[in-house]
Structure 1
Amino acid sequence: MPFKTLLTVTGPDHGDDDLRLAAGLCEEIDAHLCVLVLLIAAPPSGGEYAAVVSPAWLAEREAEVEILERRSSVVSKMLSESPVSADLSSDYPEQSWADEIIGRRARYADLTVIGAEMLASRSLKEKVIAGGLFSSGRPILLVPKGARVTLKPKRVLVAWDASLEASRAVRESLGILSAANEVRIVMIDPIEDERHHGAEPGADVATYLSRHGVKVAVDRLPSSNHFVADVLRQHAIDTGAELIVMGAYGHSRLRERIFGGVTKSLIEEPGLPILMAR
């Protein structure tokens, strides 16, 4: 399915680089751009009672609303000068509701684009990624600083572990994969049994993709005591991949937060553009 609507989220302390990035991708594939301007509301300093009686807290909230309105005005002007079709919305959610608000908005887009400014944001990054992955049912695209990104890549690496999450990522990116010149299915230490990768690891997914016209090759790689994320990043570089496609959070977020994991590592250091789905 082609991407027809892209979403990007921006905060009041962000510049316009992420917006230009998303607009450029929309122009490349003739898609509509949705922009959500978001500011997470300041929490009361002394609990719920303080939220009712504290003039300082109320003044802070009023100031934040003004900041949000100014940022929305700046973004609106930029979008009006852009050649792409676009719409703008804003929200001022509490901390606990921010990812759900983002997820609801992302349900009406085909892809959420997360650029370098958002990836560097301490206040919004985690909420945007969590909302995009867990509350929308849609994929996200991570674009690190300095990376060249296109939604018409010639060479794509698919990180395949036979999981439901990886299957969703492949399904969501079929339009990209079928148009590429080369798609490499990469498995790290694949297990040869019916509960995992089957008798011939990679054969089933390669056959599925070939029926969609994907020019596919299969790479079975040993981890050799290296982290899986590092092996994937290096193989992407070695094969000249312009995009990595992968499932996200095959383990729980809590487990990844405590012990680490492939998703967590690649979110922290993408290296190159990554399309993730869950």
Structure 2
Amino acid sequence: MTYKTVLLAVGVPQFQSDLRAVADLCATGNMHLSVLPIKIDTLPPMKDFAANLGPWGYDRTSEIEELAEVVKRAREMLSGLGISFDVVGRYAESMWLEHEVGERAWYADITLIGPSLKSDERLRRGVIEGALFHSARPILLASNLQSVTLQPRRILLAWNSSVESARAAREALDMMRNAEGVNVVMVEPKAASATIGEETGDCVASYLARHGVTVTIDRLPGGGRTIAEVLNQHALETGAELMVMGAYGHSRVRERVFGGVTKAMIDAPVVPVMMIR
């Protein structure tokens, strides 16, 4: 996949560093940057609700003005950089947030999630799940967007014989083809299906090799650690600049309650992580 349009979702506070980093990324790769500043509709505490009601309901003027100021500042920051861009703000109700993010992501190749969203966990979760579940596009998370590249030299592909990991592998084919090497990593691999024996990784490695990808298969023991811990450690040991993985092989509810690889990577990406569902 050749990336021509990057979507960056940002909150109202502390968005400048994310915006600068992604602007540099787009300038280097000659990509269009689409910026989505979002403010979630907030209602007053119930005890104050009646007092805040006017003829048309709760007054959101200050929040809308705050969002408009962010849109203005983002446009001013980008206007002198010589890149193609657009900035469209969204004042979203909580129940529609995911759908609005997903719809905007239809018109981008990938959605970037930077550290600025960590100041509002509810917004960050809504953006991530909106893009994953409602756009059919990948997301890329990083603890520091300055470390992100869409032309990584070394890639770790987390493989678990799932539909999600197969989609991730297909999505990242161009990047893997142009990389110096790709480590296909399986942690305590199991059978891919009832009719196939132990997963060796040979099938996915052969598939990638036919596309010109230089592949190394790594079958790793858990050793009492979580899958996420094993993947993160191996990414650091192999110098991976990007981890590619499928997202939410289990339901969102199960991931939130019991944890899982997707949740662990979303909470604390050690290297930039590209996910697709």
Q: TM-score, normalization: structure 1?
A: 0.93
* Residues 234 and 213 of structure 1: CA distance in aligned 2, closer, same or farther (over 3 Å): same
Q: What is the rounded CA distance, in whole Å, between the counterparts of 1:8 and 1:146 in structure 2?
A: 11
Task: Tell which deviates more after alignment, 144-153 or 133-142.
Answer: 144-153
Partner letter of residue 133 of structure 2?
F
- Describe the SS at the equivalent of 1:255: helix
The alignment status of 1:16 with 2:9, answered yes or no, reads: no
State the percentage of identical aligned residues.
45
Partner letter of residue 25 of structure 2?
L
Q: What is the rounded CA distance, in whole Å, between the counterparts of 1:180 and 1:51 in structure 2?
A: 60
- Describe the SS at the equivalent of 1:92: strand
The alignment status of 1:162 with 2:125, answered yes or no, reads: no
Aligned pairs for 1:21-40 within 5 A: 21-40=21-40
Q: What is the rounded CA distance, in whole Å, between the counterparts of 2:32 and 2:12 in structure 1?
A: 22
* Residue matched to 1:177: 176
Gapped regions of structure 1 (runs ≥ 5): none
Aligned pairs for 1:99-178 within 5 A: 99-145=98-144, 148-178=147-177
Aligned pairs for 1:47-86 within 5 A: 50=50, 53-54=53-54, 58-59=58-59, 61-86=60-85
* Residues 168 and 119 of structure 1: CA distance in aligned 2, closer, same or farther (over 3 Å): farther
Gapped regions of structure 2 (runs ≥ 5): none
Q: What is the rounded CA distance, in whole Å, between the counterparts of 1:246 and 1:196 in structure 2?
A: 24
Q: Shift of residue 219 of structure 1?
A: 0.5
Q: What is the rounded CA distance, in whole Å, between the counterparts of 1:208 and 1:262 in structure 2?
A: 24
CA contact (8 A) 1:45 1:57 kept: no
Q: What is the rounded CA distance, in whole Å, between the counterparts of 1:73 and 1:102 in structure 2?
A: 20
Q: Shift of residue 145 of structure 1?
A: 3.3
What is the CA RMSD across the aligned residues, in angstroms?
2.2
* Residue matched to 1:203: 202
CA contact (8 A) 1:156 1:180 kept: yes
Partner letter of residue 6 of structure 1?
V
* Residue matched to 1:219: 218
CA contact (8 A) 1:162 1:197 kept: no
Q: What is the rounded CA distance, in whole Å, between the counterparts of 1:152 and 1:32 in structure 2?
A: 16
CA contact (8 A) 1:242 1:272 kept: yes
Q: What is the rounded CA distance, in whole Å, between the counterparts of 1:197 and 1:220 in structure 2?
A: 17
CA contact (8 A) 2:13 2:116 kept: no
Task: Tell which deviates more after alignment, 94-103 or 18-27.
Answer: 18-27
Task: Tell which deviates more after alignment, 65-74 or 189-198.
Answer: 189-198
- Describe the SS at the equivalent of 2:75: helix
CA contact (8 A) 1:229 1:266 kept: yes
* Residues 94 and 196 of structure 1: CA distance in aligned 2, closer, same or farther (over 3 Å): farther
Q: Shift of residue 54 of structure 1?
A: 4.4
Partner letter of residue 5 of structure 2?
T
Task: Tell which deviates more after alignment, 190-199 or 235-244.
Answer: 190-199
* Residues 79 and 275 of structure 1: CA distance in aligned 2, closer, same or farther (over 3 Å): same
* Residues 2 and 15 of structure 1: CA distance in aligned 2, closer, same or farther (over 3 Å): same
Q: Shift of residue 232 of structure 1?
A: 0.3
Q: What is the rounded CA distance, in whole Å, between the counterparts of 2:56 and 2:215 in structure 1?
A: 60
Q: TM-score, normalization: structure 2?
A: 0.93
Q: Shift of residue 146 of structure 1?
A: 7.7
Cα deviations by residue, 1:215-262 (Å, 9 ceiling, x for unpaired): 111001111111110000001111111110000110001001111101
* Residue matched to 2:5: 5
- Describe the SS at the equivalent of 1:39: strand
Q: What is the rounded CA distance, in whole Å, between the counterparts of 1:12 and 1:194 in structure 2?
A: 46
Cα deviations by residue, 1:67-121 (Å, 9 ceiling, x for unpaired): 1111111011112112221111111111111111011001110000111112443
Q: Shift of residue 53 of structure 1?
A: 3.6
Q: Shift of residue 198 of structure 1?
A: 4.6
CA contact (8 A) 1:161 1:197 kept: no
The alignment status of 1:98 with 2:97, answered yes or no, reads: yes
- Describe the SS at the equivalent of 2:89: strand
